[in-house]
């Protein structure tokens, strides 16, 4: 088994990265949730020593627009990772299914076709409380986890390029 990509760090420890630039795109819809996710991510980046100018935050109207925004940021070639935050709460119509499918397929396609990792931070929940629990509540903050994932994926890309 090859260990070329092993960091040697304990599982869960974040690798130390240098000169990493990150874009966060947050949907305005359910902004109290996406704002908490964004803050969780920013807290991790600050804790890890990122300067304020290393992380840019953008806003789009809703979850469906996240794919387009991420695509444009990839084309700009300014970032090493992009995080998208959205929150889609199930309602009484099939709209939930269409939105979730659209954003999931869109971000998956970008990850398959592009060289910059796009971190999926979209909560797809049955009720607002489920989202609150995942945006700094009882179940932690998925925004923090997304920031950690961005750092790990950037480190992964750097290691692959060294091979």
Token couple for 120: 């999926």
Q: Each residue of 87-102: pLDDT tens digit?
A: 999 988 899 999 999 9
User: What 3-state class would DSSP assign to 61?
Assistant: coil
Q: Each residue of 149-159: pLDDT tens digit?
A: 999 999 999 99
Q: Are strands 135-137 and 140-141 parallel, antiparallel or unpaired?
A: antiparallel
Q: Are strands 22-27 and 55-60 parallel, antiparallel or unpaired?
A: parallel
pTM of structure: 0.92
Strands (DSSP E) contained in the chain are 22-27, 55-60, 81-89, 118-125, 135-137, 140-141
Clarify whether 59 is annotated catalytic: no
CATH class of 26-162: alpha beta
Give the whole-number percent of the chain exceeding pLDDT 90: 89
Q: Of the listed 32, 59, 95, 154, which one is catalytic? A: 95
Per-residue pLDDT band for 8 (boundaries 50, 70, 90) equals very low
- Taking all residues of the chain, what is their mean pLDDT, rounded to a whole number? 93
Between 16 and 10, residue with greater pLDDT: 16
Per-residue pLDDT band for 116 (boundaries 50, 70, 90) equals very high
């Amino acid at each position: 088994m090859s260990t070329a990509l092993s960091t040697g760090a304990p599982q869960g420890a974040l690798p130390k990265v240098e000169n990493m630039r990150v874009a966060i795109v947050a949907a305005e819809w359910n902004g109290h949730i996406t704002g908490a996710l964004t803050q969780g991510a920013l807290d991790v980046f600050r804790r890890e020593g990122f300067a304020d100018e290393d992380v840019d935050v953008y806003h789009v109207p809703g979850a469906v627009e996240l794919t387009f925004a991420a695509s444009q940021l990839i084309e700009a070639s300014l970032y090493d990772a992009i995080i998208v935050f959205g929150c889609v709460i199930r309602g009484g119509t099939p709209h939930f299914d269409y939105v979730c499918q659209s954003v999931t397929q869109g971000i998956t396609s970008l990850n398959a076709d592009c060289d910059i990792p796009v971190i999926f931070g979209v909560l797809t929940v049955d009720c607002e409380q489920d989202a609150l629990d995942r945006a700094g509540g009882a179940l932690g903050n998925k925004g923090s986890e997304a920031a950690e994932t961005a750092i790990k994926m950037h480190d992964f890309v750097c290691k692959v390029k060294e091979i």
